[in-house]
Chain A
Amino acid sequence: MERYVKGVGMTKFSFEDRSTHDMSHEAIQQALNDSDINIDKIDAAVVSTVDTEINDERQRMYGPVLSSLLKKKIPIIRVPAVCGGGGAAFWTASRLKYNNVLVLGVDKVLSSPTQLITEEIMNAGDNFWEQEEGVIFPAVNALVAQQHMLKYGTTHDDLLKIAYKNHYHGSMNPKAKFFGKKISLEEIKNAPIVSTPFNLYDCSISVNGAAAVIISNDKTDIKVEGSALATDYLAPFEREDMTVWNGTVEAGKESFKQSQIEPKDINVAELHDAFTIVELIAYEDLGFCKKGEGAKLIRDGYTNLDGKMPVNTSGGLKARGHPISPTGVAQIVEITDQLRNRCGERQVNNPKLGLTHNVGGAGGTTTVHIFKKVAG
Chain B
Amino acid sequence: MNESLKKVIPNSVITALEKRGLKPETFLDAVSADMDKNGELRSLYLILTDKRFILVVSDQSGEMIFSGASPASHRPVEGVGELYQYELSRIANPKILDQVVGGLFMADIDGIETWICRFSGAKMKEMRNFCMTFSCRLTGEEPPEKKRNDVEYCPKCGMPYPEKGRSVCPKCMVKRAIFLRILSYFKPFWLRICGLFLCMIVSGILSSLSPYLTGTILYDKILSKNQEFTETLGIPGNFVLALLMLVLSAALILIIKQIVGVIQGRINAYLVPEVVTKIKGNVFEALQKLSIGFFTRRQTGSLMQRVNSDANEVMGFFIDGLPYLLYNIFTFLFAAIIMFSMDWRLALISFFMLPPLFFISYRLMPRIWHAHGRRSRTVRTLYSLLNDGIGGARVVKAFGQEEYENTRFQKVNDRVRNAEMRVVRYGNQFEIMYSLAREIPSLLVASIGALFIIQAPGVFTYGKLITFLNFLGLMQGPMQFFSNIFRWWASSMNAAQRVFEIIDARPDVMEKEAPVYVDLKGDITLNHVSFGYEPNKCVLNDVSFSVKSGEMLGIVGKSGAGKSTLVNLISRLYDADSGEILLDGINIKNLAFSSLRGAVAMVSQETYIFMGTIAENIAYARPDAGHAEIVRAAQAASAHNFICRLPDGYDTIIGSGGRELSGGERQRISIARAILADPRILVLDEATASVDTETERAIQESLEKLIKGRTTISIAHRLSTLRNADHLIVLDKGELVESGTHAELVAKQGEYYKLLQLQSKALAMRGIGD
Is chain B found bound to chain A in the same assembly? no
Residues of B within 8 A of A (CB): none
Residues of A within 8 A of B (CB): none
